[in-house]
Structure 1
Amino acid sequence: MGKELVVKKNTLPIPALSDTDGLDSYIRFANSIPMLTEAEEKELAERLRYQQDIDAAQALIMAHLRFVIKVARGFSGYGLPITDLIQEGNIGLMKAVRRFDPEVGVRLVSFAVHWIKAEMHEYILKNWRIVKIATTKSQRKLFFNLRSSKKRFGWLNEEEIQDVAKELGVQPETVVEMEKRMNAYDMAFDAPIEEGDDAKAYHPSLYLEDQSRNPEALVEDDDFEQKTQIKLQEAIDELDERSRDIILSRWFSDEKATLHDLAAKYQISAERVRQLEESAMGRLKSSVAHL
């Protein structure tokens, strides 16, 4: 049994993708690798699947690097570095090679396209916006299909919204909401203020209030809590001795007593204990509610 194929980033001896020159070198390198014939591909895939031949896996991956570049160019309109898209696509290619079955009768490129695009989709959704615009499977499908539609239409009018909703099988309101998210832009929360008398700044830190740390609200909350505790204690003290013991044993003790425990203690039924507890709780709630 040979070594197991493990998918990792940056494991292939290929040129770096860190800059433009690196990208050009990478593309030339990928295009210089001969494409495999169907027979060659099947032989390599069989060696990988049945003999765990890592060299065969590498040969399959290297021969399809050019296809990853082609797919990555199709996603270039999202404003993300194509080098990053290629790297993510290569991860998808490696996953596809690991799962490819030569006995199915399809070429690797047809099988791998799903895995390559899936990795690129995930990368785009994670990085296209600081605030994630699509989290569910249906939202992701709508995101990519709607972006494709907007390339044809631009801003959608009411008729186009209805057409897109019908085509994608979603509600028109869902299309409108996704379009709003897609056309929103990211803004720094506390961007530096430009110097000059006429300079204006509109970043969120200047107009968004943090109500959670409002001193007035904190004092009011603390005062209300103290009054509630005092009122609750007074209400408990006003209960008869048995009802008070039931409430304290059932709600305020570290080791809470059961209905049967209290029934045995007072030699009454568990149902009677429950009735006393319910009556006492009603009086406590009524006392606290009048604050």
Structure 2
Amino acid sequence: MRQVSADRRMIKAAMAAPYLARDEEQELARAWREASDQNARNKIAMAHMRLVVSMAVKFRNFGLPMGDLIQEGHVGLLEAAARFEPSRDVRFSTYATWWIRASMQDYVLRNWSIVRGGTSSAQKALFFNLRRLRAKLAQGDRQLTAQAVHEEIAAALGVSLADVQTMDARLSGSDTSLQAPISSSDSSGGERLDLLASEAPLPDEQVSILIDEERRRAWLDHAMTNLNEREMKIIRARRLADTGATLEELGADLGISKERVRQIETRAMEKLKVALLAQAPGLAVAH
């Protein structure tokens, strides 16, 4: 109740603010641009707060608090006042409308849902115009299917049919917490999260993967015993380290040319291939 009263007072003050004549508006704008007069900027902004209220009314269908919308619009209004150039032959209200709308749209996109929507200009246009266009098409004499409605909206806004269908589904539904109970009558304490299918391997698959990895590690360790010390060092540095060493680095470390390192590495890999195939004839060995 207290918030509602505060919102009403804010709206009342905005609607009661006096209009500015064009000459007065220009004079205040020059005072701000040339002398950084904060009072002049604030006076311009206050005189146009009714624009903010009017715009907030258009966005109230998204279910967000009217007071918050007005505050966000006020931020856009102050930004417009700070950027307005009186030398341009345009009224401040025309210039400020864009900033107010942009500020409110950004607020709606950030707070309407816990699931973030698209941020491209096309996605924003779809988000804010889908309901209006759908209602407009429904008023016509034609009996359109949902598919036909989506196709006409996609063509009008220049987005894909899939984008329209996805956005329509989001706007028609509501967010649900994964920690919410499965049902009000469920006394087991189960949550919606429990019903999600895991993409991780099943327990028996995890055991099988672990056994295969251990077997391959044992085969590789045994095959490495066929290499001499220098071959082993090159293979470990080039093939088994998280970040493989370069031929130049190993050449400098071993006191040989990078071409010689490459030759030794090739020979060592052939030895490993022979040794691994001897242990597991059907094993696919990567080069």
1:172-187 to 2 correspondence within 5 Å?
Answer: 172-187=161-176
**Contact preservation (8 Å) 1:18, 1:83:** no
Partner of 1:91: 75
Q: How do residues 244-283 of structure 1 correspond to structure 2 at under 5 angstroms?
A: 244-251=232-239, 258-260=246-248, 270-278=258-266, 280-281=268-269
Q: Which amino acid aligns with 1:130?
A: I
CA contact (8 A) 2:181 2:190 kept: no
Specify the alignment match of 2:154 in structure 1. Answer: 165
Q: Which stretch of structure 1 is more off in the superposition, 140-149 or 211-220?
A: 211-220
TM-score for the superposition, normalised by structure 1: 0.78
4+ aligned runs moved over 4 Å, structure 1: 153-156, 192-197, 199-203, 209-225, 251-258, 260-269, 281-289
Q: For 2:283, give the aligned amino acid.
A: H
- Judged with a 3 Å threshold, the aligned counterparts in structure 2 of structure 1 residues 251 and 46 are, in CA distance, closer, same or farther, namely same
CA RMSD of aligned residues (A): 3.6
Contact 1:69 1:86 in 2 (8 A): yes
Q: Aligned letter for 2:127?
A: F
Contact 1:259 / 1:273 at 8 angstroms: preserved in 2? yes
Q: Distance in 1 between matches of 2:194 and 2:249?
A: 60
| 1:160/1:209 CA distance change after superposition, 3 Å | closer
1:64-79 maps to which residues of 2 (within 5 A)? 64-79=48-63
Q: Aligned equivalents of 1:47 and 1:29: distance in 2?
A: 24
Whichever residue aligns with residue 227 of structure 2, its letter is: L
Q: Tell me if 1:290 matches 2:278.
A: no
Q: In 2, Cα distance between the equivalents of 1:196 and 1:224?
A: 46
The reply to whether residue 204 of structure 1 matches residue 204 of structure 2 is: no
State how far apart, in whole Å, the 1-side matches of 2:158 and 2:217 are. Answer: 54
TM-score (norm 2): 0.79
Which amino acid in structure 2 is aligned with residue 109 of structure 1?
A: S
Contact 1:236/1:284 (<8 A) preserved: yes
- More deviation in 19-28 or 274-283? 274-283
Equivalent residue for 1:51? 35
Q: Matched residues, percent identical?
A: 35
C-alpha distance after superposition, 1:140-161 (max 9, x if no partner): 1221122321333469622222
* Number of the residue aligned with 2:22: 38
Q: How many residues align?
A: 274
Structure 1's unaligned 5+ residue stretches are: 1-16
Answer whether contact 1:31 1:66 (CA < 8 A) is retained. yes
Partner of 1:3: none
Q: 1:243 aligns with which of 212, 218, 231?
A: 231
CA displacement at 1:164 relative to structure 2: 1.4
The one-character-per-residue Cα deviations of 1:191-219 (angstroms, maximum 9, x if unpaired) are 2577758x899852231255559766665
